[in-house]
Amino acid sequence: MALDLLNIDWGCLISFLLIKGVAESKNSYSNKKDGLDLAGIISFMIGMLSVNILINQGGRVGWLSPMVLGLGLLSVITFIVFYKIEKNKEDAFIDFNTFNNKTYKGAAISNFLISCTAGTLTVTLSLVQLAADLSPLQAGFLTIGYFIGILIAIKVGEKLLSYCKSGALVCLWFYHQYQLFLIRIFD
């Protein structure tokens, strides 16, 4: 308990010292009124809701049932409409022009792929515990190699990025994941 209070005190003190030295940045005032992109928000919400229902209810209802196929079609159409709405809008819900910056695009793709891999590791841990009736420690031992492989792949990817283009590495990653998917299905 005392250690927690000490950590809170130190955290507050350090935060105060860090914030004190940072100059405040202010946006310049403009007469332009920022609007709310209601069409973009609603189309995005409908698309995400249809994908969510499709994923969660597809196995129970049947993947080839009219409801699931309709939800898949609805999500594709809604995301196409969303993209067309947002592409040229000035106050867009998601500004796709930020992806024209190669550094931002690379960071976004990298973040997406790492998040997918971390999610796969979490799901794998849970499924191994349930399916094989293993303890969390035993399941952790089974997946630790995968985690170490991820860390090694990140370091190797950083080195490869200095030698070749990022697009080739992304294609290589997708090809590798496709191979793993096929191995798991036909094993």
Closest CA to 154 of 99, 184, 117: 117
Q: What is the pLDDT of residues 81-99, one digit of tens each?
A: 999 988 888 888 888 888 8
Q: Which residues have a Cβ under 8 Å from the Cβ of 143 and sit 6 or more positions away? A: 121, 124, 125, 128
d(CA 112, CA 165): 18
pTM, to two decimals? 0.54
Phi-psi category of residue 159: left, alpha or beta, with phi > 0 → left and psi -120 to 50 → alpha: alpha
| pLDDT score at 164 | 63
Question: Is pLDDT larger for residue 146 or for residue 4?
Answer: 146
Q: pLDDT digits over 27-55, tens only?
A: 666 555 567 788 889 999 999 999 999 98
Q: In the prediction, which pLDDT does 172 show?
A: 67
DSSP 103-162: HHHHHHHHHHHHHHHHHHHHHHHHHHHHHHT--HHHHHHHHHHHHHHHHHHHHHHHHHHT
Neighbours of 6 (CB within 10 A): 10
